[in-house]
Amino acid sequence: MHHLIKEKLPPHLAIIMDGNGRWAEKRSLDRVEGHRQGAESVRRIVRASREIGISHLTLFAFSSENWSRPRLEVDALMLLLRNYLETELQEMLENHIRLMAIGDLARLPQEVQTALQESVKKTAQGRGMTLTLALSYGGRDDILQAVRRIMSHGRDGNLKPEEIQEELFSKYLWSRDLPDPDLLIRTSGEMRISNFFLWQLAYTEIYFTPTLWPDFTREEFIQALLSYQNRERRFGLTSEQVRVGDG
């Protein structure tokens, strides 16, 4: 049993799943074996998130920089992804999980795009939890594609510079259908954002853990959520202002 307070769960939880390679290297295994175990961790944490009652879970599964990894590793990751989509569709449907994908999806192999489109379409009615996979995603890419589209709308004459407010800008990001993340978890001991959500993380609480992603258990996941529940989010205000606003 855990002591999580349902009302204080982070509505949107994002995770940078790092350390698959090191997990494998520590065991003298191929890096791909680390990713395979990483995919098992994905299954475990998606299941736990749904059970606990998280509304939006976003997983940074493949960055725009990851394309530069050795060809064999990229291919293996794409295959794991496809396999994940195929094996989990039924469970997603049963658990009312809605799958979404964000990123430069056109760069993904055609088979992955097709599998994604199919899962996204079939799960579109899911209201239990939104699972978003960030694939071929880069935070700077996201901001740039938003700026490009805003500029072309401006040129077409229906958007004035003063209309470009935060809310409007957010609607041009790939994450337009998601609220900003409340909590970001990064495994493997690296303490950086690595070009994940840049705009979106402005007020996000961050939880870093040295645990490698394949070793990230349900118990530690609950620890991370408990740590979040014990924090005071001030959004730039004073502690007193926040407490008055609460009551």
* Residues near ligand FPP, by CB under 6 A: 17-22, 35, 38-39, 42, 59, 61-62, 66, 77, 80-81, 84, 133, 188, 213
Write down the least CB distance from residue 127 to ligand FPP, Å: 21
Q: How many CB atoms lie within 10 A of CB 61?
A: 24
Nearer residue to ligand FPP within complex by CB, 112 or 146: 112
Compute the least distance from the CB of residue 73 to ligand FPP, in Å: 8
Choose between 200 and 211: whose C-beta lies nearer to ligand FPP.
Answer: 211
By beta carbon distance, the residue nearest ligand FPP is 21
Place of tokens 């407490």: 243
C-beta of 43 vs 234, nearer to ligand FPP: 43
Q: Is 20 a catalytic residue?
A: no
Alpha-carbon distances of 190 from 93, 152, 186, 194, 212, rounded to whole Å: 34, 38, 7, 9, 10
Cβ proximity to ligand FPP, 42 vs 150, nearer residue: 42
246 counts as catalytic: no
Query: Minimal distance in Å, beta carbon 112 to ligand FPP?
Result: 11
Catalytic residues: 18, 66
